[in-house]
Amino acid sequence: MKIKGQLNWQDYRSAQRLHASPFKKSNPIITGFGIVLAIGAVLTLLLANDQGLEILLYGLIFGAGSYILGRIIFIPNRAKRIFKQQKELQAPIEMEFTESAFSAVNEFGASSHPWNTFTRWLENKDVFLLYHSDTLYSIIPKRMLTTEQSDLVRQYLKENIQETSQRSRLGCIIWAVLLLFAVMVFLVFNFQQQVASLFW
């Protein structure tokens, strides 16, 4: 199957958002992690003194604000700038999908990669991302594909590349354990302060 088209900066923005998203797909580890955080936050609110509560609220506001600003302002502006700078992204391109490989040709060069050379793949409503490494990926805009072609690409991907919805499971588990440990230390410290204040 061959397709021809041209990337636009919105395709690149969508790819950047998907690549940067911590929640690329619903996952039990991410869900469990969120539940642990929510429970920790509620317990902290119940046990915290005024200063602890203030720190928690500022942290939540800063974290949420940073994430929203990044998604709405930083990623789109960065995507526009990089897309404008990188001429290879703007050139018309021809892509070919076969049972054994993905190939792409434009005025700057040609490449052909057997499916098993990709480390992982992701998709959202706008694009497929085919990863050559943790940070390098090829973009396939879905607007260049019919529904049947999208289904065929997805089939090739599922048959040949392991789909990864987030960073490695081990990495997620390690971060969850570390964060849970930090929450527990914070709660124990607050609890000790509360108990000490009762006796002094």
Residues 148 and 65: their CA atoms lie apart, in Å, by 40
* Range of the structural domain that residue 190 is part of: 168-199
Which structure tokens are listed for 52? Answer: 């602890």
Res 67: pLDDT: 72
Residue recorded with tokens 């392991």? 162
Question: 137 and 181: one domain?
Answer: no
Mean pLDDT of the chain: 80
Question: 183 and 159: one domain?
Answer: no
Residues 62 and 76: their CA atoms lie apart, in Å, by 20
Residues 94 and 66: beta-carbon distance below 8 Å: no
Res 167: pLDDT: 45
Question: 79 and 173: one domain?
Answer: no
Question: 64 and 142: one domain?
Answer: yes
Question: 120 and 193: one domain?
Answer: no
Which structure tokens are listed for 118? Answer: 């990709």
Question: 116 and 177: one domain?
Answer: no
3-class SS of residue 131: strand
Question: 26 and 78: one domain?
Answer: yes
Residues 125 and 10: beta-carbon distance below 8 Å: no
Res 122: pLDDT: 94
Point out the residues of the chain with pLDDT beneath 70.
22-57, 163-200
Domain count, the chain: 2
Question: 81 and 31: one domain?
Answer: yes
Question: 98 and 173: one domain?
Answer: no
Q: What are the C-alpha distances in Å from 167 to residues 23, 129, 158, 174?
A: 10, 15, 18, 11
Question: 73 and 98: one domain?
Answer: yes
Question: 32 and 118: one domain?
Answer: yes
Question: 98 and 177: one domain?
Answer: no
Question: Tens of pLDDT along 75-134?
Answer: 888 888 988 999 999 999 999 999 999 999 999 999 999 999 999 999 999 999 999 998
